[in-house]
């Protein structure tokens, strides 16, 4: 039996997870879901972020579905480092997978790009780089203060995420991988990334390749996002580029993501890219589509390809039927998509 | 007498500098300009990048006007580290100034943003961070290989660039500064940046402030660039954000920049953001507007406010009279703008 750990989290996280679970119920009947109360609310109530025993329990599951954690009342970094990044690192989720599509029926901000024309995926490294937490400071608060941050990159970590990107490209129509770094300035890490990229590329003669500096890639994501297929990049560049990709495809409201451990040695985690949005929480107006699409990625990862495709199609139908600008009811969207999934699978 | 060191550089760099010099001739009569042959061409011919004696000579000037250096035949990093970054660091050009405007008469890629609505400036730190060149690698080429990059940040360097941003904000209509970092992950450097930002903000009660994480800022530059006035950020984030800002205002073809030493202890350097564009070089079709706008920034920096404004107005007139998509002759643009400047100043 498939066991899913569910972390609804804070704010609209809990609302969109309710809808994602409706969809999961029809797409994967008979799974067992256990909810874990983690995030800002628990932190304020008990001071706990991620107790070791809870982490061990979660580790016993097949996958994690997360809503959103966080609140402006929690100091920056506490939940990020203590919960989100801890799970990514401890569970070796080295592929941070972020697809972006300009769905038919939706409106992007770019005048010359039509729905259907953007379909890219960013394979962001998830366990290295500037996210390693290496750094420090001296003489804090004095005029002599210094602060450092260190980007740590291994051939092991670089090669495996690049190989994953090529494998994903093989399963796509265009079979093109763009490697993004800043090799002209970050000469050591950039050199490692470029050499790994060239070496792995040689194993995939059917995949075409390209290298771009991160500043150029950021610009091209705005001026010609249609040209991208798979982008592979480091942890921090991936953080920035995926938000640009989300912006040109209509905002993070629709963006799904997976923190994937492709080796299945620990559970992978799937979550909407949006945050807990305390400003609109509790009003039943959050769009659950990103959480539902994350559920589709979860199904795909666990080998339930047919169910994943059905969820994807149901979302496409939902979006195609929308009138831009119209306000939506969170629960009605979940009901509609779940009903359509059960039709498609029935 | 004002002494300008001119580095035309490679490719279209030399073409746009010819036009910028026409404008400089009428805007600042009686200045002395000396051309320095540096860049990919010289590197290939002599192996030299920036001889010490040449650097010393350039240091004796009031400002530097640079076209563009580089060519795909030069390994990445050679000219960047040996020439561009060397001048930025050695001449203590700690304010990398990058204004972005969606000029009346031009077309941006965003459907809902009208010409005139975007007018922002990024104050990018220019002498610290991941550009320090601190890093290394071990076991290169072996499976055990590692590579590091270190971001070095001082209170001295952070505070001075933030203060500069506030001073610039005071001279603008909206008087708003957005500080961009990634304090939720880069906790040491982010903490230094945020504390410096708050401390300096307290000295400027007339300026409103805001903090954004870099991923969110990248997104907002696409979804609501109109909201930004002054952005202050670190070296690498500034590199990426300024290319997004250029993209939403019609591309790097129009983007000007200055590597500014506000203390005038060494010359500041002004250059278009675009590169040497070998693909279109030699055909007389490069748009010299970015180089001419950089010249306006140079004039402003040297205290020639009236001349700077005249060049800015002449460029605005040029752009307002353009038909989007129309091809342009490099030299004709330079002639038109120079003539208009002489009218305005005459
Ligand atoms: C919340 C934060 C730690 C996180 C990141 O930087 O990876 C977020 O921005 C994301 O993209 O998932
Ligand atoms: C050429 C390169 C070193 C440079 C940078 O990264 O600063 C460029 O991208 C820029 O923005 O001026």
Using DSSP, how many helices (H) and how many strands (E) does chain A show?
A: 12, 12
A55 pLDDT above the threshold of 90: yes
| Chain A residues lying within 8 Å of B77, measured CB to CB | 183-185, 187, 190
User: Residue B128 has what pLDDT?
Assistant: 98
Same domain, B255 and B285: no
Work out how many domains chain A is built from and give that number.
Answer: 2
Distance (Å) from CA A320 to ligand 2 centroid: 41
Confidence of residue B182 (pLDDT cuts 50, 70, 90): very high
User: Residue A193 has what pLDDT?
Assistant: 98
Same domain, B49 and B89: yes
Average pLDDT over residues B102-113: 94
Same domain, A183 and A325: no
Determine the Cα–Cα distance for residues B102 and B250; give it in Å rounded to an integer: 7
Average pLDDT over residues A217-221: 98
Structural domain boundaries, residue B332: 1-93+268-346
pLDDT per position as a tens digit, A73-103:
999 899 999 999 999 999 999 999 999 999 9
Point out the domain boundary residue: A257, A273, A292.
Answer: A257
Least confident residue range of A105-109, A195-199, B157-161: A105-109
CB B66, CB B259: distance < 8 Å: no
> CB–CB of A151 and B130 under 8 A?
yes
User: Residue B268 has what pLDDT?
Assistant: 98
State the nearest Cα–Cα gap between A230 and chain B, in angstroms: 20
User: Which residue puts its alpha carbon closest to atom 8 of ligand 1?
Assistant: A239
User: Residue B20 has what pLDDT?
Assistant: 98
The yes-or-no answer on residue A206 being catalytic is: no
Nearest bound ligand to the CA of residue A89: 1
Same domain, A188 and A247: yes
With H, G, I as helix, E, B as strand and everything else as coil, classify residue B346: coil
| Chain B residues lying within 8 Å of A224, measured CB to CB | none
Contact with chain A for residue B239, Cβ under 8 A: yes
CB A246, CB B220: distance < 8 Å: no
Same domain, B145 and B229: yes
- Name the H helices within A185-262: 187-202, 214-223, 235-248
The atom of ligand 2 lying closest to the CA of B273 is: 12
The yes-or-no answer on residue A86 being catalytic is: no
CA proximity to A177, closest of A158, A196, A197: A197
Q: Can you give the CATH number for the domain in which A244 is found?
A: 3.40.718.10
Same domain, B170 and B243: yes
Same domain, A105 and A138: yes
Point out the domain boundary residue: A223, A257, A291.
Answer: A257
User: Residue A172 has what pLDDT?
Assistant: 98
- Name the H helices within chain B: 12-27, 40-46, 52-59, 78-79, 85-90, 155-170, 187-202, 214-223, 235-248, 289-301, 305-320, 330-345
Residue environment code for A83-122, b if the CB has 16+ CB neighbours within 10 A, otherwise e: bbbbbbbebbbbbbbbbbbbbebbbbbbeebebeebbbbb
The atom of ligand 1 lying closest to the CA of B185 is: 3
CB B5, CB B267: distance < 8 Å: yes
Point out the domain boundary residue: B260, B294, B316.
Answer: B260
Which candidate in B114, B218, B253 is best for mutational testing of the A interface (most A CBs within 10 A)? B218
B137 vs A81, A188, A240: nearest CB: A188
User: Which residue puts its alpha carbon closest to atom 8 of ligand 2?
Assistant: B239
Same domain, A184 and A210: yes
The yes-or-no answer on residue A156 being catalytic is: no
Which candidate in A236, A249, A255 is best for mutational testing of the B interface (most B CBs within 10 A)? A236
pLDDT per position as a tens digit, B298-313:
999 999 999 999 999 9
Confidence of residue B327 (pLDDT cuts 50, 70, 90): confident
CB A256, CB A67: distance < 8 Å: no
Which candidate in B76, B117, B162 is best for mutational testing of the A interface (most A CBs within 10 A)? B76
Same domain, A166 and A71: no
Determine the Cα–Cα distance for residues B97 and B93; give it in Å rounded to an integer: 10
Determine the Cα–Cα distance for residues B204 and A284; give it in Å rounded to an integer: 41
Q: List the B146-154 sheet strands across, edge first.
A: A129-138, A146-154, B146-154, B129-138
Window A:60-119, CB contacts with B under 8 Å: 76-77, 80-81, 85, 109-112
Distance (Å) from CA B53 to ligand 2 centroid: 24
Same domain, A340 and A242: no
- Name the H helices within B141-186: 155-170
Q: What is the mean pLDDT of chain B?
A: 97
The residues of B annotated with a catalytic role in the active site are: 131, 182, 215, 239, 243
Determine the Cα–Cα distance for residues A214 and A100; give it in Å rounded to an integer: 18
| Chain A residues lying within 8 Å of B80, measured CB to CB | 184-185
Distance (Å) from CA B179 to ligand 2 centroid: 20
Q: Give CA separation, A85 vs A169, A194, B175, B227, in Å.
A: 26, 26, 36, 31
Confidence of residue B253 (pLDDT cuts 50, 70, 90): confident
Average pLDDT over residues B255-267: 98
A324 pLDDT above the threshold of 80: no
Same domain, B28 and B147: no
Tokens of A152: 């740590």
Same domain, A81 and A106: no
Contact with chain B for residue A137, Cβ under 8 A: yes
Nearest bound ligand to the CA of residue A77: 1
A146 vs B153, B236, B243: nearest CB: B153
Determine the Cα–Cα distance for residues A3 and A65; give it in Å rounded to an integer: 11
Q: Name every residue whose Cβ is closer than 8 Å to that of residue B241 and which is 6 or more positions away in sequence.
A: B122, B124, B180, B214, B217, B218, B221, B231, B233
Confidence of residue A156 (pLDDT cuts 50, 70, 90): very high
Share of chain A above pLDDT 70, in %: 100
Confidence of residue A33 (pLDDT cuts 50, 70, 90): very high
């Amino acid at each position: 039996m498939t066991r899913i750990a569910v972390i609804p989290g804070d704010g609209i996280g809990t609302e969109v997870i309710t809808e994602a679970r409706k969809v999961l119920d029809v797409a994967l009947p008979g799974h067992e879901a256990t909810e874990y109360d983690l995030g800002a609310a628990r932190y304020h109530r008990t001071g706990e972020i991620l107790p070791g025993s809870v982490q061990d329990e979660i580790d016993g599951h097949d996958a994690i579905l997360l809503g959103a954690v966080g609140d402006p009342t929690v100091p920056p970094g506490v939940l990020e480092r203590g919960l989100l990044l801890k799970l990514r690192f401890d569970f070796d989720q080295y592929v941070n997978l972020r697809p972006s599509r300009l769905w038919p029926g939706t409106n992007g901000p770019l005048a010359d790009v039509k729905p259907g024309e953007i379909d890219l995926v960013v394979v962001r490294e998830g366990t290295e780089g500037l996210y390693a937490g290496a750094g420090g400071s001296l003489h804090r608060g004095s005029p002599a203060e210094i602060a450092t941050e260190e980007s740590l990159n291994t051939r092991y970590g670089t090669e495996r995420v690049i190989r994953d990107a090529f494998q994903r490209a093989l399963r796509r129509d265009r079979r093109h991988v763009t490697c993004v770094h800043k090799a002209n300035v970050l000469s050591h890490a950039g050199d490692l990334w470029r050499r790994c990229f060239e070496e792995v590329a040689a194993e995939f003669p059917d995949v075409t390749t390209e290298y771009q500096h991160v500043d150029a890639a950021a610009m091209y994501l705005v001026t010609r996002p249609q040209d991208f297929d798979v982008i592979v990049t480091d942890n921090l560049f991936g953080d920035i580029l995926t938000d640009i990709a989300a912006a040109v495809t209509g905002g993070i409201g629709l963006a799904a993501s997976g923190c994937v451990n492709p080796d299945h040695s620990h559970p992978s985690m799937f979550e909407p890219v949006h945050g807990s949005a305390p400003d609109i929480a509790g009003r039943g107006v959050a769009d659950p589509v990103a959480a539902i699409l994350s559920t589709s990625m979860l199904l795909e990862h666990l080998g339930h390809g047919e169910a994943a495709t059905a969820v994807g199609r149901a979302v496409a139908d939902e979006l195609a039927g929308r009138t831009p600008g119209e306000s939506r009811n969170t629960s009605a969207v979940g009901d509609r998509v779940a009903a359509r999934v059960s039709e498609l699978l029935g």
